[in-house]
Chains A and B, each alone.
Chain A
Amino acid sequence: MECVVQGIIETQHVEALEILLQGLCGVHRERLRIHELCLKSGPNLGVVASEVQLLCDLEQPEPTWTVRHVGGAMRGSGAEQISVLVRTMVESKVSKNALRLFYALGYKLDHELLRVGFAFHFQRGAQITITVSSVNKMPKLHATDEALPVTPGIQLVEVTAPASVGKLSRSCCCNVLFL
Chain B
Amino acid sequence: MPLKWVLQWQPNAGTTVNSQILNEVSQCVETINGVKEGRWKATLTFYKPMIREQAVPTDYPRDFLGISLPEQPNKYYFIIRGQRIVLEADSSIQTIMEKLQSYKSRVALIFEGFQYQLGDFQLRVGKVVPSHSENLRGIVMEVEYLPISSLDKSRQIMEEFLDIWQEAVSKRSLPGHFTHIEPNFAEYGLSDHYSSQHTAVQYATVMAQLIASVQTVQSVRN
A residues adjacent to B (C-beta < 8 A)? 41-48, 50, 52, 67-69, 71, 88, 90-95, 97-98, 100-101, 104-107
Contacts and interface: CB of A to CB of B under 8 A. Distances in A.
Interface residues of B, number: 32
B220 to A, nearest CB: 34
Interface of B: 49-53, 56, 58-61, 64, 78, 80, 83, 85-93, 95-96, 99-103, 189, 197
8 contacts: A43-B56, A47-B102, A52-B96, A69-B99, A69-B100, A90-B92, A105-B61, A105-B103
A67 B96 contact: yes
A101 B78 contact: yes
Contacts of A44: 51-53, 56, 58
Contacts of B52: 44-47
Contacts of A71: 99
B101 A93 contact: no
Contacts of A100: 85
A93 B197 CA distance: 15
Contact of B50 (A46, A67, A97): A46
Nearest to B92: A92
Contacts of B100: 41, 46, 50, 52, 69
Contact of A67 (B93, B102, B189): B93
Given A42-B60, A90-B96, A104-B80, A47 B89 contact: no
B49 A45 contact: yes
* Max count, chain B CB within 10 A of own CB: residue among A100, A105, A106: A105
Which 10 residue pairs across A and B have the least CB separation, nearest first?
Answer: A46-B102, A92-B93, A92-B90, A94-B89, A50-B100, A106-B60, A95-B88, A92-B92, A47-B101, A69-B96
